[in-house]
Structure 1
Amino acid sequence: MQQLILWQLINSNFPLGAYNYSEGLEYLIESAGCSEAESFQDWLRLHLRYGSIRAEVSVMLRVIQAIAADDLTQLQYWNSWLNGTRETRELRQQSIQMGNSLLKLLGDLDENKRLQLGACREQIGKNCHYAIAFGIAVALWEIEPHQAVLGYLHSWVSNLVSAGVKLIPLGQTQGQQIIYQLQPVIVTVAEELLDQQEKDLYGCTWGLSLASMNHETQYTRLFRS
């Protein structure tokens, strides 16, 4: 049952609006930073290894631990922490929109979870980042954390590959080849993050931040960020 719930959460048809976002990829393509399949795959690999997605997953794991320890005050701390790591309005709005949408959908899926979801929401406040909401779902539905991390990372890669197929453009087969070839990286990063200590949290995001800043004023855009 838990595995099926995870598959539903990371399914591209789950209505969170993830398809609206490219995380600044449009500017990277326009500036020739990711103008072909090879450079795009390299960018995804580097972001998995060093980017902000690592911090998101680490926070998600800490949310799971906090709920298991019945320490819901940690949810507000980590939500504020994520808020402070979003250097642009676009990136912050993307994370909050998807997080708020996920929390609402979780309550609509299972009314028996609404009381627990309400307690979490009370600690977080009005705006909930996506990694926080995903961690809440993993904790309340008792999804195995290792599988949750793999699913979170794979979903992130798949969403950006979908954007890359439209923007670069790439063929559908090329997109699937990129996802397949990045699977060993996803497995390695997942194992690293499961063992990561809080003092070792990091993410090198200046490239993503600059791309997002330029995307806000880009002349033509297909995606919201």
Structure 2
Amino acid sequence: MATATEAAIDGATLLTLTRWLSPAFPTGAFAWSHGLEAEVAAGRVRDGAGLSDWLAGVLAHGAGRNDAILIACAWRAARSGDAAALGELAELAAALAPGAERETEARAQGAAFARTLAAAGEIELAPCPLPVAVGAAAGRAGLPLGPTLLLHLQNFTANLVTIGVRHIPLGQSEGQAILAALAPLMESVADSARKATADDIGGCAIASDIASLEHETLPTRIFRS
């Protein structure tokens, strides 16, 4: 029998996932640059090629990969009703942040995601970092894991592409080309995360982590991270 991960997506499921994991869903993602603002200010990311390379590193070796694994773990915990495991994953997600701004980024977006679901009468979730909130909500709603991972990764990446388009700056078409070129990597990260456990979490996106720390002392800041 097909699992929720493998089953074909019906219209209602597709609409729910694309609504939850859309830039229009009010998590406040537009206010956070994940350290990209510091990279642009320092001149380390100055064009489309640089932005694409930076995003690829974050997706494959940084928060993109780790958050996807956290989503998968939270999805499985929610499906089995393991509240203790969800609490441990929330603590782990916070501990993985390299600095105060990145921890606040994850917590603030997760809390906003949970508040919006509750206000819409959909699901009640305790406030927790965003990847745990997304995984828990999708698991409790019976939404398939694979598409949840893909759409989360695209939403995360698209927000950062939009920041690059505005602040490097780049053209809108170049931004979309970068997003399209990263699609195979997103698929690979999602596929690996779907089968991963918390023991597989780890990364080496050191440059983006350092940039997020540098951002805390930028004299002029538009974004909160």
TM-score, normalization by structure 2: 0.91
Higher helix share: 1
Q: Give the aligned partner of residue 163 of structure 1.
A: 163
Match of 1:200 in 2: 200
**Displacement of 1:196:** 2.1
Offset at residue 50 of structure 1 (A): 0.9
**Range with bigger deviation, 52-61 or 158-167:** 52-61
Which runs of 5 or more structure 1 residues have no equivalent in the other structure? 122-126
Conserved 8 A contact 1:60-1:134: yes
Displacement of 1:206 in angstroms is 2.3
Question: For 2:56 and 2:188, how far apart are their aligned partners in 1?
Answer: 11
- Partners in 1 of 2:196 and 2:113 — Cα distance? 26
Match of 1:58 in 2: 69
Identical counterparts, % of pairs: 28
Aligned counterparts of 2:192 and 2:88: Cα–Cα separation in 1: 23
Structure 1 residue 205 displacement after superposition? 3.5
Match of 1:124 in 2: none
Q: 1:75 aligns with which of 86, 96, 104?
A: 86
Q: Deviations over 1:95-124 (max 9, x none)?
A: 11111111111111125x4xxx2xx52xxx
- Look up the SS of the partner of 2:86 in the other structure: helix
Q: Measure how far apart 1:2 and its partner are.
A: 1.4
Cα deviation code 1:48-102 (max 9, x no counterpart)? 1111221111111111111111211111101111111112111011111111111
Q: TM-score, normalised by structure 1?
A: 0.91
Q: Partner letter of residue 59 of structure 2? A: L
Which of 12, 31, 34 is the matching residue for 2:23?
A: 12
Q: Could you give the per-residue CA deviations for residues 186-222 of structure 1, whole angstroms, max 9, x where no partner exists?
A: 1111111112243322122322221011111112222
Separation in structure 2 between the aligned mates of residue 179 and residue 53 of structure 1, nearest angstrom? 14
Q: What one-letter code is carried by the residue in structure 2 that aligns with 1:214?
A: E
Q: SS in structure 1 opposite 2:182? A: helix
1: CA distance between counterparts of 2:141 and 2:198? 24
Equivalent in the alignment of 1:191? 191
Once residues 29 and 91 of structure 1 are traced to their aligned partners in structure 2, the CA distance between those partners, rounded to angstroms, is: 17
1:85-100 equivalences in 2 (<5 Å): 85-100=96-111
Q: What code does the residue aligned with 1:220 have?
A: T
